[in-house]
Amino acid sequence: MPNAHPIDWIVFHALLLVLLGLEVLLLHKTTPETAPRRSYAATALWILGAIAFGGWVYLRMHPQLGQEFLAGYALEESLSIDNLFVFLLLFKSFRIEPAKQRRVLFWGILGAVILRAGFIVAGVQLLAKFDWVTYIFAVILLIAAVRLVLPEDHEHPKKPGWQIWLEKRQPISLSQDSFTAVENGRRMPTVLMLALLGIAFADFVFALDSIPAVLSITRHTFIAYTSNILAVMGLRSLFFVLTHALGKLAYLHYGLAAVLAFAAAKMLAAPWIEITPMISLVVIFAILAVTIAISLLLERKQHDDPSAT
């Protein structure tokens, strides 16, 4: 497959800047009444941008690379939903005001972009030099799939160990005006800083799952990078969309687990069975469509009949 030329990298990063600027304009000074509608518009903007860039790759580089980009993007976008659920729990745990959440998400996602870029380059190089790493990545995905279907107490999440350790050694300000604050003549981190650290750590953990997942679709560094980064950059607007929908998608985590298991199976079966990017794209959409439909149908049934379980 052809390598990306400098113009391809320039076009991609220019597209990122344009989409980010348009998102800022859409989400700037939103009110509780306009936030849901603007968040839907911003999410649609990122998705359309990804589709447009997929068309660029398809026409300019190679049709198969275009399919790999769209499949990788769909995979990362679906897996990011689980990240967002953790982000929501973090904001609840630290009692972060809705108006302050966008700032934390912006810097947290920017850090995630840098982290994942390094992970992707390292992952592609490992797979190119050591074929057996494929099996390690597949096992990581299977463990992640099992973890998704295990029951968790989302209503009363426990404090992570790093937070308990930090609070014992460092006073924390309850201010939400900035990431640090001066109180009693001493500068200290605020709860915003704790939330930012929590998001950074959560994305580090999720990157250990999502990077092997996208590498199950493509080994092309440019395609893996662009599909992953576009999915991550759209998380901020997607977060506010999903906060209005997560309550209705009670069974979505089963679909995400199935997507991870499919990615693992694809890696394990690669020496004997070739699963094209288009088939991967169809399977991912089918799994998510079925679990979303089941969630919505059962939620509507419970709404109509509260005694139903």
**In the predicted model, is pLDDT for residue 96 greater than 70?**
yes
pLDDT at residue 49 in the model: 94
| Structural domains in the chain (count) | 1
Residues of the chain with pLDDT > 70: what percent? 81
Write down the mean pLDDT value for the chain: 78
pLDDT at residue 305 in the model: 63
pLDDT at residue 130 in the model: 65
pLDDT at residue 244 in the model: 64
Q: Is residue 265 part of a domain?
A: yes
| Dihedral (CA of 61, 63, 66, 68) sign | negative
The whole domain housing 220 covers 6-151+195-304
Q: With bands split at pLDDT 50, 70 and 90, how would you rate the model's confidence at 260? A: confident
Q: Is residue 67 part of a domain?
A: yes
Q: Is residue 174 part of a domain?
A: no
Q: Is residue 164 part of a domain?
A: no
Q: Is residue 176 part of a domain?
A: no
Q: Is residue 212 part of a domain?
A: yes
Q: Is residue 159 part of a domain?
A: no
Q: Is residue 34 part of a domain?
A: yes
